[in-house]
Amino acid sequence: MKKIIAASLLLLTLISCSDIVQPTSTATVIPTMMVTITPILSTLPPTETREAQAASEWNGIPIMPGAIAGEGDEEGYVFTIHATPAQVQEYYQLELGKLGWQQLSQDASGSSLVLIFMDNASATLTVSILSKGDEALVLLVK
């Protein structure tokens, strides 16, 4: 009987230490990559503000002093100015007259005003003025 008890104890010890129990989960481990983002502090150049100065002239045509936010290309130039359409009209009639331009026509409708000038070489210049609150948007097309 001692042999049976000893064999049973040995069998219980072996069973408790063995891998008889199978895992019930079939989970798969997927490796992931961790990315750490480190903020980079930099000083950005200042953006052009609406109060940036416009050019002083475009294709030989003077730009009204005090003009802001101007830009253009070979076909035209547009700028904004704190002035009334009448002030813009007066400026261009005077300054273009000094350069030999003569006003051919004027058309006013609502908040817009269009002036057409011609120079000695028969070139034409259109000055379109659009009232926008306390500002005027001016488009020069040559």
Closest-CA residue to 134 (of 93, 86, 91, 82): 82
CA-CA-CA-CA torsion sign (137, 61, 98, 96)? negative
Q: How many domains is the chain built from?
A: 1
Which pLDDT does position 86 carry in this prediction? 94
In the chain, where do the E strands start and end? 57-58, 61-62, 68-72, 76-81, 102-109, 112-118, 124-132, 135-141
CA distances from 116 to 70, 79, 141 (A): 21, 18, 10
Average pLDDT of the segment spanning 81-104: 96
Residue 11: inside a domain: no
Which pLDDT does position 76 carry in this prediction? 96
| Residue 89 in this model has a pLDDT that exceeds 90 | yes
Closest-CA residue to 106 (of 60, 70, 96, 77): 96
Residue 95: inside a domain: yes
Residue 52: inside a domain: no
Residue 48: inside a domain: no
Residue 39: inside a domain: no
Average pLDDT of the segment spanning 80-90: 95
Q: Is the pTM of this model over 0.85?
A: no
Assign 132 a pLDDT band (cuts: 50, 70, 90): confident
Domain hosting 89: range is 57-141
Residue 68: inside a domain: yes
Helix (H), strand (E) at residue 42? none
Average pLDDT of the segment spanning 60-89: 94
Residue 92: inside a domain: yes
**Over the stretch 12-69, which tens digit does the pLDDT of each residue have?**
344 444 454 455 555 565 665 555 555 554 444 443 444 456 778 999 999 999 999 8
**Over the stretch 97-110, which tens digit does the pLDDT of each residue have?**
999 999 999 999 88
Residue 2: inside a domain: no
DSSP secondary structure of 71-106: EE-SSEEEEEESS-HHHHHHHHHHHHHHTT-EEEEE
